[in-house]
Structure 1
Amino acid sequence: MAEATIKEGFLCPICHKDLRSPNNLIAHFQDLHSEEQDILKSIKDIYGIAKKKILKIDDKDLELFKKEITLEKYYLEYSEPQEPGPAKSHTDYFKAIRRERLDHRTTETNKLVIRLDRLLRFYGSDRKQQEQELVAWLDGSTVNRCPSCASVFNITRRQHHCRLCGSIMCNSCSYFLPYETAQTIVAPVTSLNNQEQGAAKESDSLRICNHCLDMLECRRRVQIEQMIQPIICQLYSHLQKNKFQIQNSVDMYNKMYTSLVSGETTYLLQDLQSLRTTIADKAQMIDTLSKKIASLPVDPETPKAVALQNSIRKATSIYIKDYLLTLPAPPTVHELEKFKKNYLMKAVDDDIMPTPKTSIKKVTVTTGWSPANVTNDSIVVEDDDPLLEQMNIVRNYIDQARKAQRFEEVASLQENLEMLKKMYRQQQAKPNTDK
């Protein structure tokens, strides 16, 4: 007699079919064996009792596990803190390893940039040959697959070489670097002139691999980060630039004021008033920049930034109050005439010719000013005297320098004009002396 086959699973007690799940078993029994309601009820009861027992066993196991991992059982002997053992810092070792890798990456990147700079100089039909002479291409006779995507090389998938390192890749793994982008990467070291740059077409590009592209992109990101400054740095740089410019204006204002109060005629009162207006405008701009810096949003985690912004604002306010607002006011016309009269009387009493007390800086007129259209109603040129013509030219230069508020050049040109006038007077007096 053959041994009976033992079946397992969710078997139907009537047809002994394996339904694989309790829901399928119940549905099968309701559809095909609905007349056996007692058996169906017993199946549901058995399944419910088994489920409760399984869940109860799981709950007991969970409670037992929780009791086994209590701190009272396992960590009672560690109530006393343990003394720390010897420690060793690995920071120096980490820095050494990191520095070595950074140096290697920097060296490789610099090599790529140098090669890229040289490749940008190659144009014409023999460019491919020149590229192979600059960078040795790997031999592809033993390379059957693309190192990047592992695709097999065949007739439709040809081998290509990176122009920067000479490695092999397929067309899908290639990246075409435009010449314009390449020139921005090598901008610090490139020496291409305008003619060479114009020879390259806009569609020209270099085939490179992903590894070289990654290294060049890292260099480009570093360059962009170095060029871009935070908004507070930009505003502060603009603030310092305006303070440097206003410093020169303040020094010139004090020199002009001293000259006018002394009774000298080197400068004009209108020049002093114009320069004071310029200083006031720049002071207002400096004050506005400091307010912008103080009102910039600050990260709550950086409280020192708030103190820095407030310090910049406070220092700027003190600078304007103690240095710019304390400048002496320009003298009135009546006061100016009085100063000139006292200066001339003192010169007569001392029996000396008036000499300017302020030091005039010798400058060279290199601004491209033109002496064209010079007209002067006070002097009439009768015999085309070169001295008179030169005096008119100098007067024209003085007017242009005064409009540009370049008062150092005004003073220097004024001195030259006085010298020309003296020479002209001597020339006119010479014939009378001969008679």
Structure 2
Amino acid sequence: MSNPFDEDNGEILEGFLCPICREDLRSIEFLTDHVENFHAEEQDALKSIFKDIFSKAKRKIKSNFDDSIDLARSLDRDVRINSSNTTTRGNVFNYMVQNVGAERSHFSYFTSVRNPRLERYASETNKLIIRLHKLLKDMPAEPVARKQHEQNIVPWLDGSSVKLCPNCAKSFHIARRQHHCRLCGSIMCNDCSKFLPLDDALELASLTLSRTDPIPKSKDERLNSIRTCDHCLWLLETRKEMHDSRTCRPPTSVIYDEIQQLKKNILPDIDMYLKIINSLYSGDSIFTLADASALRGKIGQVAEIVDLKSKKILMLPCQEGTREEAMKKSIRLSCVQFIKERMLSIPPLPGEVEIKKIQDKKRMETEQRIETERRLALEAYEKYGLAEGSDGAGSAESYASGSALRTLDNWSAYQISTSGVASNDPLVEQINIIKGYIKQARTAMRFDEVATLELNLRELQKEFYMQHQKGSNNTTTIPATTTLPQNKD
């Protein structure tokens, strides 16, 4: 019996076919019953038919697999041949040829579409700013006068022909009234209305300083704002956001700049404190222990401020594990290190008794040096008959009569009145003026000026002393020990 599924017959049958009689039985149940009832004695023929079908399918599958293997082998052989003719590994795929695709730039088209849109938005925003400026400039406080003022600045559209809200498409009636935008005059319902606060409007219109009388606040919140449409408010908010993005800075940056400015300002004070401490230990009387104590207190206050600001930066909210968090921790660490190394490591204040001993010792050494110089000068006078020297009356005229003192960094001290001092000597008047300057400089913690003024004061006191010595009878009447007048201020 021939195979009913044999393609050589030229006809392909479909359905639930009996493999022996080729009858289409329509379902699997009918096919099973048909084979059991009519072909029960032909089981051997049925097995041979199925065996023939399976063997043919096996040969078909095998032939397709062999063809794919042969194709893969041929491709591999071609690749090996091509690779043998090349010198580099990168030329293995030289047999693959691909043409370059065409490119076209759309940037000019993009700019041609974008620029008119930006210009239109900029023009609309500028018109809104001008209208807002006119609305706020002479805005009345009374609601009726304010409404008339708004209609005079921006004409309102006629609402008689408008039956629906342009935004929500809801009809207007007694419960849903028509409202107008104060900037463009368009119509909308109350639900679609937006309100711009007067403070923000003043900031946008740059009228914070130009308006003399402030706009009075009303109990009705709507009167403390300007009714606008969604489009106008969006344009104004976009302008405000753009301005804020250019002018506003992150809080971390602002606080960090404040910390850097504090560090920059306190470094000269730290150096001056070290200079004052060294001057006190050397026995110099230019600076006092109170000067060092005041400057140390200022350094301690700045250290506390720097510590608080660095903690404030660390407490600002940010996402964990980000670079912003690492930056805040680095700023905090650098501030703590600066406080420890530069501000807390300064030497402590010396004891008052210790400083007094050092100053007394230096004073004795100064008196001995002056006595030695006086003795040598007296011996030279007696031996060579030297004259008393040139007249020093004109030296007093070289000093200024006293005026306002001004430094390079614009710190100024003003002359203290000396009208109550009964003296005709210009040196005495100048000494009192310098003492007043020193007192003001110490109050302002201007210790550089204190040092300079102290040296000037000593020069004046020395000149005053020399003039009084020349006015005495002769040099032999000079007392055995003499000291310069000390500055008690």
Query: TM-score, with normalisation over the residues of structure 2?
Result: 0.48
What residue in structure 2 maps to residue 150 of structure 1? 169
- Structure 1 unaligned blocks of 5 or more: 1-75, 77-81, 354-359
The answer to whether the 8 A contact 1:176-1:206 is kept is yes
Determine the C-alpha separation between the residues in 2 that align with 1:278 and 1:297.
31
Q: Structure 1 residue 208: deviation in Å? A: 1.9
- Return the match for 1:283 from 291, 303, 307: 303
- 1:246 paired to 2:266: yes
What residue in structure 2 maps to residue 17 of structure 1? none
Q: Structure 1 residue 224: deviation in Å? A: 6.7
The answer to whether the 8 A contact 1:263-1:343 is kept is no
Determine the C-alpha separation between the residues in 1 that align with 2:123 and 2:346.
57
What residue in structure 2 maps to residue 192 of structure 1? 210
Task: Indicate the SS of the match to 1:308.
Answer: helix
Shifted more, 379-388 versus 236-245: the winner is 379-388
Determine the C-alpha separation between the residues in 1 that align with 2:419 and 2:209.
57
Determine the C-alpha separation between the residues in 2 that align with 1:276 and 1:427.
41
- Structure 2 unaligned blocks of 5 or more: 1-67, 69-95, 378-394, 396-405, 474-489
- 1:405 paired to 2:423: no
Determine the C-alpha separation between the residues in 1 that align with 2:261 and 2:288.
28
Task: Indicate the SS of the match to 2:209.
Answer: coil
Q: Structure 1 residue 281: deviation in Å? A: 4.4
Shifted more, 176-185 versus 288-297: the winner is 288-297
- Which structure would you say has the larger RCO, counting Cα contacts within 8 Å and 6 or more residues apart? 1
Task: Indicate the SS of the match to 1:207.
Answer: strand
Task: Indicate the SS of the match to 2:302.
Answer: helix
Shifted more, 388-397 versus 151-160: the winner is 388-397
The answer to whether the 8 A contact 1:298-1:305 is kept is yes
Task: Indicate the SS of the match to 1:236.
Answer: helix
Question: RMSD in angstroms over aligned alpha carbons?
Answer: 5.9
What residue in structure 1 maps to residue 201 of structure 2? 182
Matches within 5 A, 1:123-138: 123-124=139-140, 131-132=150-151, 134-138=153-157
The answer to whether the 8 A contact 1:361-1:412 is kept is no
Task: Indicate the SS of the match to 1:299.
Answer: coil
1:419/1:169 CA distance change after superposition, 3 Å: farther
Determine the C-alpha separation between the residues in 2 that align with 1:120 and 1:422.
71
The number of residue pairs the alignment matches comes to: 336
- Return the match for 1:115 from 120, 124, 131: 131
Q: Percent identical across equivalent pairs?
A: 37
Q: Structure 1 residue 119: deviation in Å? A: 1.6
What residue in structure 1 maps to residue 287 of structure 2? 267
1:280/1:154 CA distance change after superposition, 3 Å: closer
The superposition leaves residues 238-294 of structure 1 with CA deviations (integer Å, 9 ceiling, x where unpaired) of 432331231232243355456657765443232123313432443355356556756
Determine the C-alpha separation between the residues in 2 that align with 1:139 and 1:415.
86
Given residue 182 of structure 1, which amino acid in structure 2 is its aligned partner?
Answer: A
1:132/1:420 CA distance change after superposition, 3 Å: farther
What residue in structure 2 maps to residue 169 of structure 1? 188
The superposition leaves residues 12-69 of structure 1 with CA deviations (integer Å, 9 ceiling, x where unpaired) of xxxxxxxxxxxxxxxxxxxxxxxxxxxxxxxxxxxxxxxxxxxxxxxxxxxxxxxxxx
Matches within 5 A, 1:32-431: 96=111, 101=117, 104-124=120-140, 131-132=150-151, 134-138=153-157, 143-152=162-171, 159-186=178-205, 188=206, 190-193=208-211, 195-197=212-214, 200-202=216-218, 203-220=223-240, 232-233=252-253, 235-254=255-274, 256-257=276-277, 265-283=285-303, 285-287=305-307, 289-290=309-310, 299-300=319-320, 302=322, 304-305=323-324, 307-316=326-335, 318-320=337-339, 323-324=342-343, 327=346, 332-333=354-355, 334-338=357-361, 361=407, 381=420, 402-403=442-443, 405-407=445-447
1:386/1:109 CA distance change after superposition, 3 Å: farther
